[in-house]
Structure 1
């Protein structure tokens, strides 16, 4: 679903560069659509000088594979989103492509040199009914195996499925570099993920007034395991909640992380930058 509304103004520039660890720049957004070039330029202007573009359906994954070659500030991730999987399995996907063929194409695209993460995969029990959950779990395991085979990071989508996500990762063995995209758990889950060696990526919803558990999770997450993202055009941070999101707005999330951690914004930027490069390599 497209995110409508006016584009928010660019935030105050950050003191040093950071990476938007997860965005969907192919997704339509805004009452007046803006080009990828404009959104990347605005992001550079506030210190968000690199992004990880995620394509998690066939069309978006194809777009991502081309875009990462066109934009030097962009690396990419590809996958079949958990909510796409049952449609492919049942032969009901709008593309008409079955699961095996769809996953084979994702695997081929993932071999590109600027694709650095299999993302986003995992489980979504908010939108998926009980009969379709085994298909999601099987696809999740396929994506874990693919990340290991290609030596890539793994990006996890977890919506209302904490226990099963953690169980699958434990049983199959998570890749060395695993990212809990848009982390949605509490402090106890954050500690568990950190103990297992996972990275936690926080989005703009950490700025929401009622996000007490997310801020508690930030508080217990070491900066060496912490990333920031927009998930744009969704999850737009306060004070622009409900408007279309863009990579530049990750600056609001960085400042909230610094506030919660009790550190200077520059220190937060520098730590996030180091962690991002450790995870994805050079741009």
Structure 2
């Protein structure tokens, strides 16, 4: 059995309790019950992170994230991850549709394209299967009038091409864990797509990503943990959780030469608008 990673230490709190973690995986963080969710959100709230969107990547996770919204600080996103797109049969589509229509679900995601894992991961969906599932999820987001949350790994041009071909949902588009450089940031800004920055933006070797983070318009920026993954500097490699979001907020604020409190408020305002949450 693999040992559980040591958690990152709690950061200095952000002022207030307004910051929003726009993308996390509370089930993968070890949350099983609603009580576990409440404990995780209590830890987050103690450092100024008042809400989180917990995101599904398979059917079991999709069922679970809907139950996690019993905590009023938690919203959910439902879809099949691109690498699992080959599981999107008729029965799965029916269940995803039903779950995504739940009141606590604020986005269809994460969906998109992942060109890193095919050929490396057994059972991974092939690009053609991913593109078909991506198009279906975009259509679902349109029918439900909810934003689509995109997973884009090594597939920037094709993700943009699918969005152009299918037409983006009027409710919005979110590039979760934005991983592109300045060119992608400009394309997203021109299209009005939101860019959600994770702990990777604090990594000193992520030069193009950090350049993109400076270019992104403030009104299109979100912040996320993608916990339990991508723990920000200086605790890279340790286990992540929504309470670690202030590290990313401060790192991104430093890059953009702005005040962390201002950035936390701006990203909170953006998240409440696109997710339609209090």
Q: TM over 0.5, yes or no?
A: yes
Are 2:211 and 1:216 aligned?
yes
* Structure 2: gaps of 5 or more residues: none
Q: Does the CA-based 8 Å contact 1:29-1:244 persist in structure 2? A: no
Are 2:14 and 1:20 aligned?
no
Quote the Cα distance in structure 2 between the aligned partners of 1:3 and 1:271.
38
Quote the Cα distance in structure 2 between the aligned partners of 1:186 and 1:3.
35
* Structure 1: gaps of 5 or more residues: 90-98
Match of 2:253 in 1: 258
Aligned residue pairs, count: 269
Counterparts of 1:195-214 in structure 2 under 5 Å?
Answer: 195-214=190-209
Match of 1:143 in 2: 137
Q: SS where residue 83 of structure 1 aligns?
A: helix
Match of 2:60 in 1: 59
* TM-score between the two structures when normalised by the length of structure 2: 0.92
Quote the Cα distance in structure 1 between the aligned partners of 2:93 and 2:57.
11
Quote the Cα distance in structure 1 between the aligned partners of 2:270 and 2:141.
19
Deviation at 1:38, TM superposition (A): 2.2
Match of 1:269 in 2: 264
Deviations 1:191-219 (A, max 9, x none): 11110010000000111120111110111
Q: Does the CA-based 8 Å contact 1:4-1:29 persist in structure 2? A: no
Provide the alpha-carbon RMSD of the alignment.
1.9
Query: Equivalent of 1:106, from 96, 105, 116?
Result: 96
Match of 1:94 in 2: none
Match of 2:51 in 1: 50
Are 2:150 and 1:156 aligned?
yes
* TM-score between the two structures when normalised by the length of structure 1: 0.91
Quote the Cα distance in structure 2 between the aligned partners of 1:201 and 1:219.
13
Quote the Cα distance in structure 2 between the aligned partners of 1:192 and 1:76.
27
Which contiguous aligned blocks of 4+ residues in structure 1 show a shift greater than 2 angstroms?
A: 1-4, 34-38
